[in-house]
A and B are shown apart, each in its own frame.
Chain A
Amino acid sequence: MTDAVLPTSALRMARRRSPFRRKVFPYLLVAPAVVYLLAITLYPGIFALWRSFYQGRFKLEFIGLENYSDLFGDEAFWHSLYNTLVIGGITLAVEFAIAMTLAALVYRDPFVRGWRIVFLLPMLFMPSAVAYLWKLLFNDGRVISDLLMQVGLASSNIDFMGSSWLARGVLVVTDVWQWTPFLFIIFVAALQGQDKEIEEAARLDGARWSQVFFAISLPLMRPVIAIALVLRGIDILTMFASPHIITQGAPAGDTETVSYFIYRTGFKSFEFGYASAASVVVLVLTVILAQSFVRRFFRSGRE
Chain B
Amino acid sequence: MAEGSRFSIGRTILLLVWGLFCLLPVIFFATIALRPRNEIIAPKPIYFPTISVETWAKIWAEWPIMHYFMNSVIAVSGSVLICLVLGIPAAYSLARYQYKGREDIGFYILSTKMMAPAAVAIPIFFLFRAMGLLDTVWALMLVYAAMNLSIVVWIIRSYMIDIPHEIEDAARTDGASDLRILWSIIIPMCLPGIITAAVIAAIFAMNEYLFTLIIATKNAYPLSVALANFSGGSDGIIYNAIALVAFLAFFPALLLVILIQNHLSRGLTMGAVKG
Tell me the A residues contacting B by CB distance below 8 Å.
1-6, 10-11, 14-15, 23, 25-27, 29-30, 32-34, 36-37, 39-41, 43-45, 47-48, 51, 98, 101-102, 105-106, 108, 110, 113, 115-122, 124-129, 132-137, 140-143, 146, 177, 181-182, 185-186, 188-190, 192-193, 200, 203, 208-209, 223-224, 227-228, 231, 234, 237-238, 240-241, 244-245, 258-260, 262-263, 266-267, 272, 275-276, 279-280, 282-283, 286-287, 289-290, 294-295, 298, 301-302
Contact = CB atoms under 8 A, between A and B. Distances in A.
7 contacts: A11-B177, A25-B178, A26-B97, A44-B123, A118-B22, A275-B122, A282-B116
B41 A140 contact: yes
B273 A34 contact: no
Contacts of B2: 108, 200, 203, 209
B218 interface: no
Given A5-B89, A294-B111, A26 B117 contact: no
Contacts, number: 320
Contacts of A260: 118
A1 B85 contact: yes
A128 B149 contact: no
Contacts of A141: 40-41, 45, 239
A6 to B, nearest CB: 7
B59 interface: no
B207 interface: yes
Interface in B1-40: 1-2, 4-6, 11, 14-15, 18-19, 21-23, 25-26, 28-29, 32, 40
Interface residues of B, number: 106
B70 interface: no
B115 interface: yes
B74 to A, nearest CB: 17
Contacts of B56: none
A194 B183 CA distance: 34
A115 B15 contact: yes
B123 A48 contact: yes
A37 B224 CA distance: 24
B200 to A, nearest CB: 11
Contacts of B261: 113, 116-117
B146 A133 contact: no
Contacts of A286: 114-116, 119
Given A101-B14, A146-B44, A267-B214, A33 B119 contact: no
Nearest to A27: B99
Contacts of A182: 268
Given A27-B93, A30-B94, A245 B110 contact: no
B246 A133 contact: yes
